[in-house]
Amino acid sequence: MSQAEEIKSYLMETIGEEACGSVCCDPDVYRDRDGWKLQMEGFMEPWKIGTTVDEAKATIKELASMRYGLV
């Protein structure tokens, strides 16, 4: 499993497909020079979620707990 697939899998485990709805139907997780980014349907720009896989997972968990449009 690639790192991007690992982050996507964690996103779905943390939030769940039902809670996420159409926003997470095909999330795009990619790494650029600034670190990991998450682009979801309905959001204008990607979210910077960290420079490592562990940081990305922590950010996803934090966003889900605050319900920033993810749950």
Domain ranges of the chain: 3-45+54-66
CB atoms within 10 A of CB 37: 17
Residue 7 binned pLDDT confidence (cut-offs 50, 70, 90):
very high
Please write the tens of the pLDDT for every residue from 19-58.
565 556 678 899 999 999 999 877 789 999 999 999 999 9
CB-count burial class (<10 Å; 0-12, 13-18, 19+) for 53:
middle
The SS3 assignment for 44 reads coil
The continuous run of DSSP H or E covering 28 comes out as: strand 28-32
CB-based contacts of 35, cutoff 8 Å, min separation 6: 48, 49, 50, 51, 52, 55
